[in-house]
Amino acid sequence: MDPSDTVAVVAGKFTARAIRFMGAGLGSNLPGKLARRFAPTVLTKLSQQAKSGVIAVTGTNGKSTTSGLLSSILRAAGLELVHNKQGANLVAGITASLVESASWSGKLSADYCLFETDEAALPLIAREVKLTQVVVTNLFRDQLDRFGELDTTAKLIARGILENKTQAILNADDPNVSQLVPECPRIFFGIESVKGQTEKQSTMPDGMGPQSMELSYCAQCGAETKYSLVFYGQLGHWSCTSCDYKRPVPRVKASDVEVGPTGSTFTLTIDERQGDAVVPLPGMFNVYNALAAAASAASIGVTIETIRQGLKNYQTLFGRSERVVISGKNVLIQLIKNPAGASQAISAVAADPQARILIAINDNYADGRDISWLWDADFEQLAAHTKKLIVSGQRAEDMAVRMKYAGVANESIHTEPKLDKALDQALDMVQSGETLWILPTYTCLLEMQKILKARGVSLAGT
């Protein structure tokens, strides 16, 4: 490394320590910004020290959980990683994670760098880092005020992959993903079957609308796609309505999937090898996250036995199906930020007969200013929920109106804009054997983190 790169690392490390010492945060972004001021090449110089390569995980939903599951698998395989597990997934945050992991002289000891990467940041990262592999989880509408149309996001991801003709790990069941970058080496993952589901059926509950399904079109002829199976949103077994183009055959797949409020089980198949897999996370969306991680790991030679072990032993990340105990009460925190992700989180809540619910909605920049997505999420799944339900945050009143139109009884909806008070009220509701599900947008999650820290409760990564 050049002297300027070493100075950049030292400056970044001092900055991170100062931020944490003052209690001003985790130092997951500013140290990276400062390091890049001293040496614009520091990201390149540090990342190229990874012995085996650099993996980026991107997509609309599941980036943090997929990278966390992959980290668990790779560590189970005995590999040493640099991982931006705090979720700072822009260029500065990724740089900061490398600076933090490097020695004071700028030396990095790692087999792989594993980066959760924002969709818009992927092409920027790819210009500075030679990516070995890019994992794409799914593509849904998200923060329309930032990304615009879905096609824009797809083009950004494709540009990042094509920068170095990188190997792509793609979701076979999402036509918006599986049709990406045919010029590059691709490995597909997908769900083959869900227990009790037959063709022409959907896993969506009765009465649940298709709000989170994105229209998709054939990359060959432009016609719309059709489905023989739908698992959620537009994820399923698809084919073109006009030509013979269809869902690719996945190399890594899940069969006989069973989803419960505390986790999922399925038969994992990788090439010709099979084994029972357990994922300690609720929701169909987390089955896909597990498959994405498994496909990435399998592509670099990790055995199916180690993959199963890594999935089973996964420890949750900050606000992603994270389980904590607060005042002796069981709590599960799941970030929501767009229709598809929220719909899946709601589905997991609806499947838990012992659920108590707190939904917290802000509309700060990091959340996305446009909250119209609340009307596209399938809150109708909670219509049968007769217990008291609390809504909070800057847009608590809007959320209360949304719950009313979703069919939740007026007397069940309680509005408390102040999150600390809402949390206390929600905890008071929880009886023995029940779980409080907290569904916050991003800045509500950060506020929750501060509230809990003041009460002596630490969330993951803090």
The residue from 151, 276, 370, 424 that is catalytic is 370
Give the Cα-Cα-Cα angle 164, 166, 168 (nearest 5 degrees): 150
Task: Decide: 441 and 365 in contact? Cβ < 8 Å.
Answer: no
Burial letters 67-106, b for 16+ CB under 10 A, else e:
bbbbbbbbebbebebbbbbbbbbbbbbbbbbbbbbbeeeb
- Report residue 417 as tokens: 């804009």
Name the β-bridge partners of 259: 264
Residue 424 annotated among the catalytic residues of the structure: no
Which residues contact residue 349 at a Cβ distance below 8 angstroms, ignoring those fewer than 6 apart?
355, 357, 381, 382, 437, 439
Number of other residues whose CB lies within 10 A of the CB of residue 209? 12
Q: Which of 199, 258, 191, 205 is nearest to 229 (CA)?
A: 199
- CA separation for the pair 346, 336 (Å, rounded): 9
276, with CB counted inside 10 A (0-12, 13-18, 19+), is exposed
- Report residue 352 as tokens: 């838990």
- Give the sign of the dihedral formed by CA 305, CA 306, CA 309, CA 310: negative
Residue type, 202: S
CA 445, distance to chain mean position in Å, is 14
Active site residues: 370
